[in-house]
Amino acid sequence: MQNLRYCSAAKMSKTFLLIAATAASLFAQAPSNLPGTIAYFRVVGATETEPGTSELHLVDPDGSNDRVIYSTPRGLVSIYPVPGWRPDGEEIAFISAHEFGCSRFDSDIFGIRPDGSGLRRITNAPRCEDLAAFPKGSARVTIENQTLNASIFFIYIEGAAELQQATILPGLSSTLTINNIADLGRQQIVYVKSGSGTWFNPAAYVDIEPGQTVTAGSSVQITSGYGPFQLRINNFTWKGDGSEIAYIVEAGLRLVQTASPAPG
């Protein structure tokens, strides 16, 4: 069997054309009265410098009635391009990184109804835009850079609407004040992100007080003891009754949570 990694561009093109033609032939042969709906992702607008956009499509089994119900922001394609129907058929879950700037994870599981309404974030809820409804406060946190060659980091506190960039030279520390953090009614952990992954110290958390500035209980040390962890969701599955969702994080975590988390 030929290894596609060594195929020329022309051979690859012929292979993809053959696959497309075969798929079209299968759709053409499918009876028009088959029940159900197929959900799938299609990447459009990809260039040599941008990955394009992931479109979530629904299509009837015979290939008709193909429509788009959701598109990721340009340049942020779905990391795991296999959507999963909730067992009752009332919602479709998928993995996307388009809200990495306001989440402890670099990708999250989202849910959307088949008619394109009700988009929500299942892991690390709520969605970025839903944070506007929460009372806000500020927090002070100290970051200690114990690496030898990294100096640019992005600080995230659960409940913040965006990352805050910080330049901290190796061997030094910096105390930052981060504003506009939603009070989620619990201890909110501080995370430090970079291209290498994410660092965090479970003791470095804040209890946000609306209208006030609080201080994190401990510093975050950028060192091997606290990271870097790859906090990307790679796969997921629904529980049979749709009440829970299980997923795998690249850092090696296997987690199960309710499919309808309370905000915060």
The answer on 117 and 54 residing in a single domain is yes
CATH assignment of the domain containing 222:
2.60.40
- Which stretch of 16-25, 33-42, 51-60, 203-212 has the lowest confidence by average pLDDT? 16-25
What the block records as the tokens of 223 is 């060192």
Does the residue 20 lie in any domain? yes
What average pLDDT does the segment 130-139 reach? 97
The answer on 86 and 113 residing in a single domain is yes
Higher pLDDT, 196 or 13: 196
- The Cα–Cα gap between 64 and 135 comes to 47
Does the residue 262 lie in any domain? no
The answer on 79 and 196 residing in a single domain is no
For strands 136-145 and 220-222, give the pairing. Answer: parallel
What average pLDDT does the segment 41-63 reach? 87
The answer on 47 and 12 residing in a single domain is no
The answer on 88 and 64 residing in a single domain is yes
- The Cα–Cα gap between 207 and 30 comes to 57
Cβ distance 60 to 37 under 8 Å? yes
The answer on 208 and 193 residing in a single domain is yes
| The pLDDT value given to residue 159 | 97
Count of domains for the chain: 3
What average pLDDT does the segment 31-41 reach? 82
The answer on 246 and 192 residing in a single domain is no
Does the residue 222 lie in any domain? yes
Domain of 172, in residue numbers: 134-226
Does the residue 42 lie in any domain? yes
The answer on 44 and 11 residing in a single domain is no
The answer on 22 and 149 residing in a single domain is no
pLDDT of residue 15 exceeding 50, the answer is no
| The pLDDT value given to residue 110 | 96
| The pLDDT value given to residue 33 | 67
Does the residue 261 lie in any domain? no
What is each CA distance from 135 to 179, 183, 184, 208, in whole angstroms?
A: 12, 6, 9, 9
- Which stretch of 24-38, 98-112, 219-233 has the lowest confidence by average pLDDT? 24-38
The answer on 115 and 64 residing in a single domain is yes
List b or e across 186-199, with b for residues whose CB sees 16 or more CB atoms inside 10 angstroms: eebbbbbbbeebbb
What is each CA distance from 214 to 144, 162, 174, 178, 206, in whole angstroms?
A: 19, 18, 16, 10, 7
Mean pLDDT of the chain: 86
Does the residue 119 lie in any domain? yes
H or E element, residue 16: helix 9-29
Does the residue 264 lie in any domain? no
Does the residue 4 lie in any domain? yes
The answer on 42 and 120 residing in a single domain is yes
CATH assignment of the domain containing 240:
2.120.10.30
Instruction: Establish whether the linkage from the previous residue to 126 is cis, with ω within 30° of 0.
Output: yes
pLDDT of residue 64 exceeding 70, the answer is yes
What average pLDDT does the segment 107-124 reach? 96
The answer on 39 and 21 residing in a single domain is no
- Number of Cβ within a 10 Å radius of residue 240: 8
The predicted model scores a pTM of 0.83
Query: Quick one: which of 117, 65, 121, 132 has its CA closest to 96?
Result: 121
H or E element, residue 179: strand 173-182
